Structure 1
C-alpha cells in the first residue's frame, strides 16, 4: 500500500472513530438526535479537511527542515488555530452542553476549546513527528549517497594513477634492447602494454582479483629488471587461497614502485624486493618488503597516502595499511584487506602464482 493510501485510510478511520465515539457519549447523555449524527458526519469531513490543509502547509514550506524550537512554535500555533475553528463551528450545535455547564464552570468555554485542541494536537503531533523523522532519514540518506559519490570520484582518481617516469624509463630500456636482444624487447613491450592497459581500466573497476594484480606487479618488476639488471632481485609468493581475493587495482604496483624508487635504486649494490600474500584470520595480508631505510623509502608522496585512503574508501576500518622498518636494512609495507568477495569460495585448487627469484 502506498503512503498516500495509508494516509487517507488513517484520516478517514481515525476521525470517523473519534466522532462516532463522541456521538455515542453525547447521545447517552442527551438522547439520540438525527441532527447530532449529521453534525458528527460534518465534523468528520471538517476535521479531515482542516488537517489536510495543515499537511499541505507543512509540505509546501518544508517545516520538517526547521530547527525544533521554530517547528514547535508553528505546531503550537497550528493546534490553537485548528482547535478554535472546530470549536466555533460546533458551538451552535453544543450550546446545550455549554448552557448546562456554564452555571457551574465559568471557564467552560475555554475548556471546550481545549478539548478540540487536544484532539487536533494528537493528530498534528503524530503527523509532524512522522514527517520530521521521515525527512531526517531522507536527508541522512542523501548525505550518505553524496558522500559515497564523492568517495567514488576520489577512488577513480586514485585508481588511475601511473607514474609517468616509469613509462619513460621503461621505453628507454626497451629502446636499448631493440638491437641487443630483440626477443627480450618484444617481451618487454608486451609487459608494458599490459601495465598500461590495466592502468587505463583501473578507473572503471573498484577492485580486481589478486592474481591479476600480482601479474601486473610481475610485469612491472620484469621491466625494472631490464633497467637495474643484477641490482634488482625480486620474489613473489601467494597462497592459492587468496588468488581470487578482491583488491584495489594498481595499488600493489604503486607500493612496489615506491620500494624500488626510494629503496633499492638508492643503493649502489641494489637490493631485493619480496611480495608475500597470505590468509590470516580470514583476511588477506600482503607484505611488500624491500632493501632500504624508512627515512628514504617513506617519501611522504601521494602514493602511500592514496593507499591508505583507497583502503578506507573500499573497506572501512576493517582494513589497514602501514609501513615500518622491519629490520636494520629492510622496510616493510603491510596491507590487511577483509573479506569483500567470494575469494575463498571461488578457490578451486589452482596452483599458486609462480614464485620467482631472479
Structure 2
C-alpha cells in the first residue's frame, strides 16, 4: 500500500489557506504516495474540488480523507480530537504554534501522533525552501503596505499636477526581517519615501540596498541584536531607551508605520507607545504585523482597525491568509520540499535526519520530545 497523505479543510476562524495544491499533489503522486483531500479544502483559496481530482487526488468527507492516513497536512494544526481514522503514529505536518498552544501539542502526544512543527524549521541553507515563516512573512510584508494604502487617505507617490504638488508618503518600517524587507520594497515601488530600523546592525546594508534610509541607534557599544537562527534578540535597557528616543523623534514625522518585530517564544516587543502615537499627524496609519503575538503597538487590537489620537492602527489577524491563493501555493511547496527532501524511494516514505528532524519534531511515542518545549 502506498503512503497515504491527508489534506484537511482548515477550521480556524478566518483561515483561507490550504496545505496542498494541484501542483504539489501531482508531485506527491510522482513520489508514489496517495493523496486524499477533504471536500471544500481549497475553496477559500480559489482551488475547487475538481482541480484536486484532476491532479489525481481523491476527494471526500473528513472521515474518508483521514482513513488510514500516514501523514496529515495542515496550515494550522488540526484539532487532535478530529483526527479519528488516521494511523497511530501518523505525522501531523503543519504550523502548530508550539509556544502559544501547548495543550494541543500535549494532546497530539497523548493520541500517539508525531507532530512536526514547520515553524521550528532551522534557518540553515538547505532548509530555506521548507521555511513557512519566510514564505508567509514575505506575503504579509507586501499585504501590510497595501492595507496601509487602503486606510491612508492620501496618495503614496509624489505627484506634480497643474493644481499643485502632492508630497510622497513617508513610510517607516520597524523590524527588517523577511516581512520588513518586503514592506520596504513594496513601499518603494508605490513611490513612498521609506526609512527602516532594526536592532540587528547587519540589516543596515539590506535597507540601503533597497533604496531606503536606515534609522539606527548609534554609540551603544556591544549591542548587535542578533539572536539564534537569525532572529532578533531582546535588547538591554540602555539600548531600549536609546531606541525609544530615536523612534520618538522619527515617528512624529511619518505618515505610515509598519511594525514586524517578533522574538520566538516570547510576546512581541512593544515598539510604539500611546504617547508616540499622539505625536503623529491625524490621518496617519500604523500596521501591526505582530498583533497576534501581543502586538508591537500600544492599543492595537487583534482583528480590528482602531483609531487613537486620529491615527488608525491596523491589527488584521492572519495576514498571509488575506492572499490565500499565493500563500497556499507557497505553503504547499514548503511542505512538499520538506517531505520530498527526505523521501526514501525504496521504502516509499520520508525518513528525517537528525538536524532537521530533531528541530521540528514535537512529539513521538506518546511523549513531548522537542528540547525547546522541555527547557
Larger Rg: 1
TM-score, normalisation: structure 2: 0.22
TM-score, normalisation: structure 1: 0.23
Between Structure 1 and Structure 2, the one with more helix by share is: 1
